[in-house]
Amino acid sequence: MAKHFRFPDVGEGITEGEIVRWLVAEGDVVKADQPLAEIETDKAVVEMPSPYAGTVLKLHFKEKDIVKVGAALVTIGEKGESSEAGAAESSAGAATAAARPAALPAPSSGAEPQATPKVRNLAREWGLDLSSVAGTGPQGRITEEDLKTAKEKAAGPPVPAVKIKSKYDFYGTLERLPLRGIRRATAKRMRESLDKAAHVTHFDEAEATALVRVRDRMKPEAAARGVKLTYLPLVVKAVVAALKLHPFLNAVLDDEEEEIVLKKYYNIGIAVDVPDGLIVPVVKMADQKTALDIAGEIETLARGARERTLDLADLKGGTFSITNVGVLGGEAATPIINYPEVAILATLRIADRVRADNGRIVIKKTLPLCLSFDHRVIDGAAAARFVTDLKTIFEDEAALEKATASSE
């Protein structure tokens, strides 16, 4: 019997994906666990293996289509079998896309329909006769979902609206590009963060002389390991040292339980710029690694992000994020929090800047620091104290060397 394979719930709140490439065609014979398609979620590109062996009877979507969790991707059965009639509704790989219970027969005309007052009011509002609605609730009770189903059936199939996409406006020619892939996922994540967190950004600046010296001393050892040492691994270690002093920045807010959850581990997300958006792989247990260990890991993760070969596990579990835009220049930024984390640090370009020092005009190497934080969890004073302690670590060679060499 033909079976539908549905887009599975792969966790981490993922509700949809984009079909990047089909690896099979209709009529192909496939084995169990054979990859069927490459699907891009807001986390990574993953291969979807077939749970069945048989012939591909139907591909339900085209490449570049957006697929919701629970939607039928492929129908697999015996060669020549219909892809529609008798297809078994399989929940394989779709753990959370549970099928609705079978509707009980609609109550007879002499029986009183079972429904709550709220459902009865809604039925009156929509002009529905409860006696004609099949209930799927306990003891045949009619639910709101049953009403919605009945309303949709009564309305009939929707009439498709004609969409006209203009290639011109008043001023000239337009080019329309589909919002897909990483750019689409980035847009959704940024909107979610702005909707759910109370964003505030604190700006400061650290003198970077000690940071430059420590990096210069570490570069020969890094080169011997075959690692290109940037400032970022040193920043990661300094941030971890500061987070240990300020645990509320290494936390999440559980809205449902109304609890602030402090993380007792330090997984640092590193924002990586890719051609079509932003990916944030995570350096796990950064407190237990040296700066040189982290340098090698960041190289590997960044390469995987650009080549789209990262595993989903590489993108999970972050507790605090860093976005380093220094190589691109700039003096300040307002980074958007990587929700559900409560803070993110942007580091700008280390450069010679004119500053006042005890009444004298001097040139100093400085590092701009921009900390965005969720004001629901962190007050402005707490954010300022965190950045002040972070600056102290950056500006003290002994403290910075201790932090970068630490692998607790």
Whether residue 328 contacts residue 352, with contact meaning beta carbons closer than 8 Å, is answered with no
Give the H or E element holding residue 293: helix 291-307
Q: Which of 4, 202, 246, 375 is catalytic?
A: 375
Distance of CA 139 to the CA centre of its chain: 40
**Phi, psi torsion values for 20, nearest 5 degrees:** -80, -45
Q: How far is 331 from 35, CA to CA, in rounded Å?
A: 47
Task: Let me know if 199 is a catalytic residue.
Answer: no
Contact 234, 390 (CB under 8 A): no
Between strands 268-270 and 282-283, the pairing is antiparallel
Residue that is written with structure tokens 């049953």 in the block: 146
Q: Render the burial of 248-272: b for 16+ CB within 10 Å, e for the rest.
A: bbbbbbeeeeeeeeebeebbbbbbb
Q: How far apart are CA 36 and CA 30, in angstroms?
A: 8
Instruction: Report d(CA 310, CA 214) in Å as an integer.
Output: 31
Per DSSP, the three-state class of 211 is helix
Catalytic residue positions, numbered: 375
